[in-house]
Structure 1
Amino acid sequence: MTRPIQTLSTNEETASAGNVKVTRDDWLEAAMELLVRHGVSEVKILTLGKKLNVSRSSFYWYFQSRKDLLNQLLAEWKRKNTDVVVRYAEMPAATITEAVCNFFRCIIAPDGFDYRLDFAVREWARRDARVSQVIARSDEIRHQALTRMFERFGYSPEDADIRARVLYYQQIGYYALELSETLATRVSRVEGYLKCFTGVEPSQQEIDSFIEFARTVEQS
């Protein structure tokens, strides 16, 4: 739990350079940017303080240590990526193809899945066994959510498990391969993807609805 800024003491108020005040979210956002761009080794208190134009001492108003910051970064990554996959997988849908379209929306929505952050954390996990365990657990949570999504529409547990794996691994693999398709090219393949992942013919309304959503995202 963070303490409210308005209760800062005089010493704490003057701890930030130029009397600039930053929030916990500012620290986390700056740390996340460094993580994505340069890796976890560059997420340092002094570097963040310079980036935010505040003194190092102000860091300790929100975090006990660099380790605490990294733990909170992991929590923020889970909220942004794992929790969002679960939320979209559980959205109401009339058909399985509409449900898979919801998952597609999760991938391209501005407030949806952040693949750059996801791969930064996966790279971090290569050097940290504890983070690797967190990644493994999150992958399982995402897979379970997609499995339940298929089961809602009558797929057997075995079939739902395999389809969920194919759907999830395809999306993660897409970014791992750093494919450079335009959004328009990807959208043109939506009908084929839906047939492949579900074994069901999507309605034209479902396809058109997703394409319109994708266009709105691209123009925003």
Structure 2
Amino acid sequence: MRRNRDDWTEIALRALAEGGVSAVAIEPLAARTGATKGSVYHHFPNRDALLQATVERWEREHTEKVIELVESERTPEDKLRTLFATVLDRGRKGSVEMALQAAAQHEVIAPVLQRVTEKRVTYLAELFRELGFGKAQARKRALIAFSLYLGQAQLWTSMPGLAESVLDEAVRVLTAK
């Protein structure tokens, strides 16, 4: 089977979720899929290029596409509820998120993770501003909401039996004035 660039970033994304950044290695990925390492090198000059393309794919799928989905809602309340329902969905496990957080100092991961975090927090702050909160309060609530997301992702990764959905309570608490 001939694999294209998207196939390899999908394979690398799964490896990242399962084993962290160190699992995104060309030879093991090729062997795991029954391909030659030349198949990977045809699309990526080196591991860092594969890792870069993989985290950029994660950024598109888990930030930009989520924001597009949320923006299809009409009211700020509906947008916030859809956002929380999407990112706090148990089926959406945070293993990639946690792998990236664990590698936050990695030279390829760091700039993407910083960009994504700022984009997410800024977007959340905009939603809280639309709900009528002042700029400073909206930013604080955005940081709390993002922290809740990271905490939920961590719970699902480390203690899947303990984690439960906190969607309704999160929306209630964060939107209360």
TM-score class, shorter-chain normalisation, is 0.7 to 0.9
Partner of 2:33: 52
Superposed CA RMSD = 2.5
Report the 3-state secondary structure (helix = DSSP H, G, I; strand = E; otherwise coil) of the residue aligned with 1:67: helix
8 A contact 1:30–1:48 mirrored in 2: yes
Q: Of the two structures, which has the highest relative contact order with CA contacts closer than 8 Å and spacing of 6 or more?
A: 2
Q: CA deviation digits over 1:140-198, x for unaligned, max 9?
A: 11000011112123222122112211111111112224453678x52xx5443322110
Using the alignment, how far apart are the partners of 2:122 and 2:65 within structure 1?
13
Identity %: 23
Unmatched tracts of structure 2, length 5 or more:
none
Partner of 1:120: 99
Partner of 1:104: 84
Structure 2 matches for 1:58-97, cutoff 5 A?
58-94=39-75, 96-97=76-77
8 A contact 2:26–2:40 mirrored in 1: yes
Using the alignment, how far apart are the partners of 2:36 and 2:114 within structure 1?
36
From 137, 141, 151, give the equivalent of 1:173: 151
Report the 3-state secondary structure (helix = DSSP H, G, I; strand = E; otherwise coil) of the residue aligned with 1:22: coil
8 A contact 1:77–1:118 mirrored in 2: no
Shift of the alpha carbon at 1:88? 4.1
Question: What is the TM-score of this pair, normalised by structure 1?
Answer: 0.68
Q: CA deviation digits over 1:109-164, x for unaligned, max 9?
A: 86xx65211111222224x1452232122111100001111212322212211221
Question: What is the TM-score of this pair, normalised by structure 2?
Answer: 0.83
Using the alignment, how far apart are the partners of 2:90 and 2:64 within structure 1?
14
Report the 3-state secondary structure (helix = DSSP H, G, I; strand = E; otherwise coil) of the residue aligned with 2:103: helix
Matched residues, number: 174
Using the alignment, how far apart are the partners of 2:45 and 2:24 within structure 1?
15
